[in-house]
Structure 1
Amino acid sequence: MTAAATGGRAPEGTVTDPTTVDVAAVLRRCRDLVDPALRAAVGRLDATSAAQSAYHLGWADRDGKPAEGGGKALRPALALLTARACGAPETVAVPGGVAVELVHNFSLLHDDLIDGDTERRHRPTVWAVWGAASAVLSGDAMLALAQEVLLEAPSAGAAPAALLLARTVRELVGGQVADVAFAERDDVGVQECLTMAHGKTGTLLGASTEVGAVLAGAPAAARAALRTVGEELGLAFQLVDDLLGIWGDPAVTGKPVLADLRERKKSLPVTWAVVNGGDAGRDLAAWLARPDSGPAGDDELTLRRGAALVEAGGGRTWARAEARRRLDAAEAALATVADHLPTTDPATTRARAELVALGRHLADREA
């Protein structure tokens, strides 16, 4: 029986074909499992940090009234699915899902301030509403809370999971430092841009897939394979995000039109085009270096000329192909998990199919 014959979802335990997986339903299921624990954790914070965190997470408006919103909880979903892909119940990984979601949102609070972004998910950012200090402190509170939640996990893997998260945050901050430094340079190379993207995005997705395996008590080889899955998905995710930052629909992405070019970001397609784009790349480099560059000097027509140069230099085509290559690498790494954890358990094989489907969804998304 196909997924279509059962209302978009195959019967539990029968899915081995990723094309029959209802990704939206998978994300909802994982979010429903993690959300109560995430809300309980945020409720431990002081009243001000809790209120600002709830606003940032989409649970409340700026006056504290309940709101319908929130992210897709992608990282918690990866944690839960990898636990089940290792043969454990998804509930084992709930503390890991909470922790990676808190770290992700800590980084968003700080990134919004660093980048000067006044809007996220079609709403004013925390710093734009309450000031810079509030964004810093609420983000710090989330980061500390993530470690607390992991260390309290009722699993022998709690301490190793907390160590994994600490290392991940160090790498994430390093990626952000590189990103900030790139703004002052005109000689950024493609490989160092990929390294920066790994730090900013790949390392946390790698932790999201590995933490589920750690809390599930999986062997080291399976853990390493699943971390590779997340890291490669993270780079695919960032490549698509960079494409959306130039060519995405603002009504869908929630970002201003041509947002990354407006900010002169050294994103992956831009960097590739500058380095490898020949005449178009040289014109793009000159366009990026114009003395009147920046938000005040750019109308939409000017920004569209920059986007055309990125495309003419091959940046758009390369980024799409590289995202697909990274997705293929993630799927290849996931296939090796069966060598370390062979199973005939339908729930486990289903979880592995769901991981493949979720990765493909990330590579094809529009927001």
Structure 2
Amino acid sequence: MTAATGSANDEAWELLRWARRLTEPELRAAVARFAAPVRTVAGYHFGWWDEAGRATQVGWGKGIRGALVLSGARALGGRVSEAVPVAAAVELVHNFSVVHDDVMDGDRTRRGRATAWSVFGARRAVSAGDAMLAAAWDLVAGGYPAARELSDALRALVAGQSADLTFEGRDDVGLAECVAMAAGKTASLLAAAGALGALAAGAEPARVAALRRFGHHLGLAFQLVDDLLGIWGDPAVTGKASGADLRRRKKTLPVVAALTAGTPAADRLGELYRGRGPLAEPRIPEAARLVREAGGGDWAHREALRRRELARTELSAARPSPTGARALDLIADLVTHRDL
């Protein structure tokens, strides 16, 4: 990493910290209104306390979606203070989806510690996720365009998550439909975050649409990088168990790109993935090697960078202020180049 790259990276992280400082009081206030059993699970998930209610400093994630809302509003001339409730709403929807996703996927590790469902049980975790979703709507209920934007994103998110689960039982998933699944599951909410920032600034429809497209491409880049890290990332950095997606024979973007490559390595990977139940532990490194040999890793890396460039084009079309453009560009770079 060059000094210039390191400096830009530091600046991007400071933008995320700035956004979290503004957003967290809204999140805490929302969770404080939950009933006691649900409040305990939600606060644990956000890293504010442990399972016994003792204060902790684990943190509730990067806050990228909220940062996009706040940075987008500022970039298009809006008042950041007016965008804070919307940023909190986006983060609540994201965390609702994360809690439910962990239950559906059976993931036991998130952000470096046990997932909420593995500590409190699936039913209580689902209830906490539902409460987060309801709280998100409380925060945007007074603004019809914002509520509609978030509602559209949620429908796409749920459809994408449903497709993701369906893919686990199929052996014929195509790359185009896998990209469409990721567009719903992940990119829809980042696209909404971009649009919501523009709406909070009172921007005209063309600029709102440009920031929505910016978030869409950035969301796909985010998912591509996330899938790469899910196979080859360091658990100490990612906070997730190594090889968890491969263990479940999950059809992630690099895996589907590899499975559809039409090479001997793709055929061998297909044989591994055609079984049912968890992949045996000794086979996980073999599966990772076959994904790489079949070109899935290289394709995902190239596609993430391509989506990053498309996001840059759409950001320019939104005509942000120079300082606002830099902030959003820094966040996009951070998302795309995470440990790649």
Q: How high is the TM-score relative to the length of structure 1?
A: 0.88
What residue is the counterpart of 2:227 in the other structure?
242
2:271 matched to 1:286? yes
Q: For 1:43, which of 32, 47, 70 is the aligned residue? A: 32
2: CA distance, partners of 1:151 / 1:349: 32
Once the 2 structures are TM-superposed, how far is the Cα of residue 138 of structure 1 from its aligned partner? 0.7
List runs of 5+ in structure 2 lacking aligned partners. Answer: none
After the TM superposition, which residues 109-120 of structure 1 pair with which residues of structure 2 at under 5 Å, given as runs? Answer: 109-120=99-110
Question: Which letter does structure 2 place at the counterpart of 1:128?
Answer: S
What residue is the counterpart of 1:160 in the other structure?
145
Once the 2 structures are TM-superposed, how far is the Cα of residue 316 of structure 1 from its aligned partner? 0.4
2:69 matched to 1:79? yes
2: CA distance, partners of 1:110 / 1:20: 31
* Percent of aligned positions that are identical: 47
Q: For 2:329, which of 342, 349, 356 is the aligned residue? A: 356
Pair member with larger Rg: 1
1: CA distance, partners of 2:80 / 2:200: 10
Question: Which letter does structure 2 place at the counterpart of 1:96?
Answer: V
Question: Which letter does structure 1 place at the counterpart of 2:108?
Answer: T
Q: 2:231·2:243 contact (CA, 8 Å) conserved in 1?
A: yes
2: CA distance, partners of 1:336 / 1:125: 40
2:54 matched to 1:65? yes
2: CA distance, partners of 1:307 / 1:232: 26
Once the 2 structures are TM-superposed, how far is the Cα of residue 69 of structure 1 from its aligned partner? 2.0
Once the 2 structures are TM-superposed, how far is the Cα of residue 123 of structure 1 from its aligned partner? 1.6
1: CA distance, partners of 2:134 / 2:243: 35
2: CA distance, partners of 1:220 / 1:363: 27
1: CA distance, partners of 2:78 / 2:180: 33
What residue is the counterpart of 1:231 in the other structure?
216
List runs of 5+ in structure 1 lacking aligned partners. Answer: 9-18, 153-157, 342-347
Once the 2 structures are TM-superposed, how far is the Cα of residue 20 of structure 1 from its aligned partner? 8.2
Once the 2 structures are TM-superposed, how far is the Cα of residue 227 of structure 1 from its aligned partner? 0.3
What residue is the counterpart of 2:119 in the other structure?
129
Q: How high is the TM-score relative to the length of structure 2?
A: 0.95
Question: Which letter does structure 2 place at the counterpart of 1:194?
Answer: V
Q: 2:69·2:83 contact (CA, 8 Å) conserved in 1?
A: yes
Question: Which letter does structure 1 place at the counterpart of 2:15?
Answer: V
Q: 1:21·1:357 contact (CA, 8 Å) conserved in 2?
A: no
Q: Which runs of 4+ in 1 moved over 6 A?
A: none
What residue is the counterpart of 1:366 in the other structure?
339
Once the 2 structures are TM-superposed, how far is the Cα of residue 366 of structure 1 from its aligned partner? 3.3
2: CA distance, partners of 1:88 / 1:213: 8
Q: Please give the secondary structure, in 1, of the residue aligned with 2:260.
A: helix
Report Cα offsets for 1:32-59 as digits up to 9, x if no partner. Answer: 1111111112111112222211110011
2: CA distance, partners of 1:275 / 1:202: 23
After the TM superposition, which residues 260-299 of structure 1 pair with which residues of structure 2 at under 5 Å, given as runs? Answer: 260-290=245-275, 294-295=278-279, 298-299=280-281
